[in-house]
């Protein structure tokens, strides 16, 4: 029979072991290029690379071939993955899988990716955005991800960590969908609900012109972004549902979005400047905190 005195060290050892398995969060600074695209710096197997953070992509990694060749456990599958951007431009990229990789000292497993090929779109058409490799949602498939533009930080939280210590009353849990086009949040436009993809890769929010119920509610582009021309350019206010104050985001109205993009638009960098976003891929939950 186990005595009370012998039981105490056993209990203490069990508590210590439970605490030990909760890995420290991986914190990564976020910077922005001149196009306001979020950039994070990662060290893959000892080599440092800059990548664009793109929550609009469900693929884990889009890597230049020379970077892919440096990752020891990366294996190309021999298959191609077809994708289309919002303008309908299609491409096919070679697929790979990474069984195990160390990123900034932390292990990640079973990451699916493709060889990088540029797909960015500039609305002005004056110059092309810089071409960085891309890290997408799939990279964090078994983690929790905190995107906080206000603190200029991306935090990767281990799946075994208790999230209660991260969630305070300022956070609001919001319903979302996870589709082939990404994480979908619902907003209200002119009294109508619209489904938008949560996309850090988009510097501003956009909406399809045929999803705008009341065109008379539009405002000139220069009233939102003074550097933009008002020629063939308008914005519409959108109300973010489920946030504490239901704050407004202004989306650019576009009429040339390809039909292959089935959602109503994108929630871009302007949304992230107003909201920290905590995505729990393990429990399939999403939280917002106004900045």
Separation CA 224–CA 53 (nearest Å): 25
Question: 8 versus 287: which is more confidently predicted?
Answer: 287
Distance CA 264, CA 47 (A): 39
β-pairing, 234-240 vs 275-280, is unpaired
pLDDT per residue over 141-173, tens digit each? 999 999 999 999 999 999 888 888 888 889 999
User: What domains does the chain contain, in order, with CATH numbers?
Assistant: 26-158 (2.40.70.10), 172-290 (2.40.70.10)
pLDDT bin (cut points 50, 70, 90) of residue 15 is very low
pLDDT for 246-266, tens place per residue? Answer: 778 999 999 888 878 899 999
Q: Residue range 84-101: average pLDDT?
A: 87
Phi first, then psi: what are they for 5, rounded to 5°?
A: -65, -35
The residue with tokens 């239901």 is 246
Using the predicted structure, report yes or no on whether residue 17 has a pLDDT greater than 50. no
Mean pLDDT of 34-53: 92
Is the confidence at residue 82, as pLDDT, over 90? no
Query: 72-81, 88-97, 273-282: which has the minimum mean pLDDT?
Result: 88-97
Q: Which residues make Cβ contacts (< 8 Å) with residue 136, sequence separation at least 6?
A: 54, 55, 56, 57, 58, 59, 60, 61, 62
Measured CA distances, 94 to 35, 76, 84, 101, 255 (Å): 27, 7, 15, 19, 31
Compute the average pLDDT of residues 230-243. 88
Instruction: Give the per-residue pLDDT at 54.
Output: 95
For the ranges 11-15, 62-66, 187-191, the lowest mean pLDDT is seen at 11-15
Compute the Cα dihedral for 291, 40, 250, 185 and give only its sign. negative
- How far apart CA 75 and CA 25 sit, in angstroms, is 28
Q: Would you place residue 16 in the very low, low, confident or very high pLDDT band (cuts 50, 70, 90)?
A: very low
How sure is the predictor about 106, in pLDDT bands with cuts at 50, 70 and 90? confident
| 195 pLDDT more than 80 | yes
Q: Which residue has the tokens 């160390």?
A: 102
Provide the CA 190 distance to its chain's centre, in angstroms.
26
Residue 128 pLDDT class (50, 70, 90 cuts): low
Q: Model confidence at 289, in pLDDT bands (50, 70, 90)?
A: very high
Q: Is 239 a residue whose pLDDT tops 80?
A: yes
Q: Average pLDDT, whole number, for the chain? A: 87
Please, which contacts does 86-95 make with residues 24 or more away whose CB atoms are closer than 8 Å? 86/121, 86/206, 86/254, 86/257, 86/258, 86/261, 86/266, 87/121, 87/256, 87/257, 87/258, 88/258, 88/259, 88/260, 89/119, 91/117, 91/119, 93/62, 93/117
pLDDT over 60 (residue 2): no
């Amino acid at each position: 029979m186990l005595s009370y005195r012998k039981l105490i060290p056993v209990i203490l050892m069990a508590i210590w072991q439970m605490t030990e398995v909760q890995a420290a969060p991986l914190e990564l600074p976020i910077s922005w290029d001149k196009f306001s695209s979020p950039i994070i710096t990662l060290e893959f197997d000892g080599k440092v690379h800059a990548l664009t953070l793109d929550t609009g992509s469900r693929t884990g990694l889009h890597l230049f071939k020379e970077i892919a060749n440096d990752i020891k456990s990366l294996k190309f599958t021999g298959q191609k993955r077809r994708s289309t951007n919002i303008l309908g431009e299609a491409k096919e990229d070679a697929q790979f899988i990474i069984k195990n990789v160390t990123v900034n000292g932390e292990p990640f497993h079973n990451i699916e990716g493709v060889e990088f090929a540029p797909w960015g779109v500039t609305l002005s058409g004056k110059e092309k955005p810089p071409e960085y490799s891309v890290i997408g949602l799939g990279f964090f498939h078994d983690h929790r991800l905190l995107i906080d533009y206000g603190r200029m930080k991306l935090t990767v939280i281990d799946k075994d960590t208790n999230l209660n210590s991260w969630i305070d009353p300022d956070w609001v849990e919001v319903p979302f969908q996870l589709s082939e086009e990404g994480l979908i949040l619902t907003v209200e436009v002119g009294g109508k609900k619209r489904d938008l993809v949560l996309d850090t890769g988009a510097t501003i929010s956009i909406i399809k012109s045929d999803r705008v119920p009341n065109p008379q509610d539009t405002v000139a582009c220069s009233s939102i972004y003074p550097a933009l021309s008002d020629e063939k350019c308008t914005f519409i206010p959108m109300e973010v549902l489920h946030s504490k104050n239901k704050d407004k985001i202004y989306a650019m109205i576009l009429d040339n979005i390809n039909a292959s993009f089935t959602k109503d638009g994108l929630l871009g960098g302007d949304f992230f400047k107003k909201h920290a976003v905590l995505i729990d891929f393990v429990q399939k939950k999403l939280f917002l905190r106004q900045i």
